[in-house]
Amino acid sequence: MSTLDRRIVALLRQVIAWLVDRDFVAVEARSRGVRLSADLIRQAVDEYGRTLVTPPDEAFWDIDAIPVANSDERVWSVRFDLWTQEEGRSDLSLECTVIIDRGSLHLEIDNIHVP
């Protein structure tokens, strides 16, 4: 796993921890509110109707991260299945964009939904 991969995994782990803790304001702050506000994130989780839990470590071994072609910066489109107390790996997924600009990681939450 490369340094870049570790940084993206660490970022995802933090976002997932906030989602599990229902700290939607922290998710919005980290993503600068681009695309989804704390209220929209809360609504998506509440509508799913199950209790989010921290995924097992092995869930982070195979993250669906695809480099975005023809972008000026290094940009990754990331999809990660969320886990619930009731189901284990659920149908609910987090979709986000990670932008690496001058060594900093920027996050945009694109969607939280059942594909």
- Give residue 115's pLDDT: 77
> So what's the pLDDT on residue 1?
45
Residue 19 belongs to what H/E stretch? helix 3-20
What does the pLDDT look like over 73-106, one tens digit per residue?
689 999 999 999 999 999 999 999 999 888 889 9
User: Does the reported pTM lie above 0.85?
Assistant: yes
pLDDT, position 9:
93
Q: Is the pLDDT of residue 51 over 50?
A: yes
Which residue ranges form the domains of the chain, and what is each CATH number?
3-113 (3.10.450)
CA 93, CA 115: separation in Å to the nearest integer? 7
